[in-house]
């Protein structure tokens, strides 16, 4: 079966949530359900969702947690599909997104899939594509170098959730919890990569959780530390652990180097 549960976390996104939901409902491969997982919204998001007359749409309420991992994991627990697809509430899908991903996943025998995306900048419009990746797969080694899996493009088999647990909810991973999960998933399967922009990704860092952490090396250090802790607990093979340790050392080195440079700038007034 190709039953797909679409999981959309949201918080006060009344202005964009309906477009996101309708883009999921309009797929050429119809999803089994669309779960809108609320994180304590105080605007009209709930009323907008409940006005959509489609039995596939489900409102999944919850208290304010402040981290997208929390409503995403709630959606995973509530979902029924064989496949889980993730869509942020300010992004949209093009109509063939699910169909093309599932087709390539079957062709490559992968239990996960992703794709490229158009970059949409508020006030400017579409500004090119996000990724320059050209291979048909994204492997664990590829992901360690840079996260090539756009969250709103991710599609994974439910069977992977038991081993990977779900999105980590630790506060220090708030801006990179999806990256942490993709690394876990990549120890179980490669991601099939559809080299087409099948997602419209809203690039709005001011109103995104990404604004809480802008240091890429601190993010990578936190993500690899999370992976190593999970890997030790789940007896992940030495090959994956060695690669993650090397990446953690690189991240720590670059993070400390950046902190030292900032220290010198503050002391000597460089760059002012």
234-239 long-range contacts, CB within 8 A, separation 24+: 234/163, 236/187, 237/187
The span from the CA of 27 to the CA of 44, in Å, is 25
Q: How many residues does the chain have?
A: 272
pLDDT of residue 1: 54
Q: How far apart are CA 134 and CA 116, in angstroms?
A: 10
pLDDT over 80 at 174, yes or no: yes
Cβ atoms within 10 Å of 261's Cβ, excluding its own:
12
Nearest Cα residue to 181 out of 197, 192, 170: 170
Give the architecture (CATH level 2) of 4-207: Alpha-Beta Complex (3.90)
Q: Give dist(CA 48, CA 46) in Å, integer.
A: 5
| DSSP alpha helix (H) spans, 110-198 | 140-145, 161-164, 177-186
Task: Please say whether the beta carbons of 83 and 2 come within 8 A.
Answer: yes
Percentage of the residues of the chain whose pLDDT score is greater than 70 = 90
Provide the mean pLDDT of the chain: 92
pLDDT higher than threshold 50 for residue 75: yes
Instruction: Tell me how far apart the alpha carbons of residues 89 and 152 are, in angstroms, rounded to a whole number.
Output: 9
pLDDT of residue 215: 81
Instruction: Give bridge partners of residue 8 from the DSSP assignment.
Output: 36
Rounded mean pLDDT, 124-145: 95
Collect all residues with Cβ–Cβ distance below 8 Å to 35 and sequence separation of at least 6. Answer: 5, 6, 7, 8, 58, 60, 75, 78, 79
Sign of CA dihedral 205, 200, 3, 31: positive
pLDDT, tens digit, for every residue of 5-53?
999 999 999 999 999 999 999 999 999 999 999 999 999 999 999 999 9
- Domain ranges across the chain: 4-207, 215-272
Q: Which residue has the higher pLDDT, 211 or 153?
A: 153
Does the pLDDT at position 80 exceed 90?
yes
Is the pLDDT assigned to residue 270 strictly greater than 70? no
Rounded distance, CA 233 to CA 249, Å? 20
User: What value does the CA radius of gyration of the chain take, rounded to a whole number of Å?
Assistant: 19
Local confidence band at 84 (pLDDT 50, 70, 90 cut-offs): very high
Spatial distance between the Cα atoms of 213 and 234, rounded to a whole number of angstroms: 28
Torsion 201-204-210-216 (CA) sign: positive
Q: What are 211-260's pLDDT values in tens digits?
A: 555 688 889 999 999 999 999 999 999 999 999 999 999 988 887 776 65
Where do the H-state alpha helices sit in 109-194? 140-145, 161-164, 177-186
pLDDT of residue 67 exceeding 50, the answer is yes
The more confidently predicted of residues 261 and 168 is 168
Is residue 186 within 8 A of residue 139, CB to CB? The reply is yes
pTM of the model: 0.91
At 272, is the pLDDT very low, low, confident or very high (cuts 50, 70, 90)?
very low
**Residue 131 confidence (pLDDT) above 80:** yes
CA 190 to chain centre: 16
For residues 147 and 23, give the distance between their C-alpha atoms in angstroms, rounded to a whole number. 24
The predicted structure's pLDDT at residue 59: 98
Phi, psi of 227 (to 5 degrees): -65, -45
């Amino acid at each position: 079966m190709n039953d797909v549960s679409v999981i959309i976390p949201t918080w006060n996104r009344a202005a964009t949530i309906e477009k996101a939901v309708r883009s999921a409902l309009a797929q050429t491969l119809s999803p089994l359900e669309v779960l809108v997982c609320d994180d304590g919204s105080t605007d009209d998001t709930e009323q907008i969702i409940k006005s959509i007359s489609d039995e596939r749409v489900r409102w999944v309420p919850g208290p304010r947690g402040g981290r997208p991992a929390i409503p995403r994991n709630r959606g995973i627990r509530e979902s029924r599909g064989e496949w889980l697809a993730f869509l942020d509430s300010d992004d949209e899908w093009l109509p063939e997104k699910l169909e093309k991903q599932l087709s390539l996943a079957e062709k490559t025998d992968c239990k996960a899939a992703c794709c490229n995306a158009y970059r949409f900048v508020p006030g400017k419009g579409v500004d090119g594509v996000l990724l320059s990746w050209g291979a048909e797969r994204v492997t664990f080694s590829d992901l360690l170098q840079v996260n090539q899996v756009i969250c709103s493009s991710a599609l994974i088999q439910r069977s992977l959730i038991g081993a990977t647990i779900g999105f980590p909810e630790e506060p220090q991973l708030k801006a990179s919890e999806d990256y942490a999960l993709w690394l876990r998933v990549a120890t179980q399967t490669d991601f099939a990569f559809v080299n087409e922009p099948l997602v419209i990704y809203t690039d709005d860092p001011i109103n995104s959780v990404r604004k809480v952490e802008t240091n890429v090396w601190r993010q990578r250090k936190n993500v690899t530390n999370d992976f190593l802790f999970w890997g030790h607990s789940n007896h992940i093979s030495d090959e994956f652990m060695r690669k993650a340790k090397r990446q953690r050392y690189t991240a720590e080195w670059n993070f400390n180097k950046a902190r030292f440079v900032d220290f010198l700038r503050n002391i000597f007034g460089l760059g002012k």
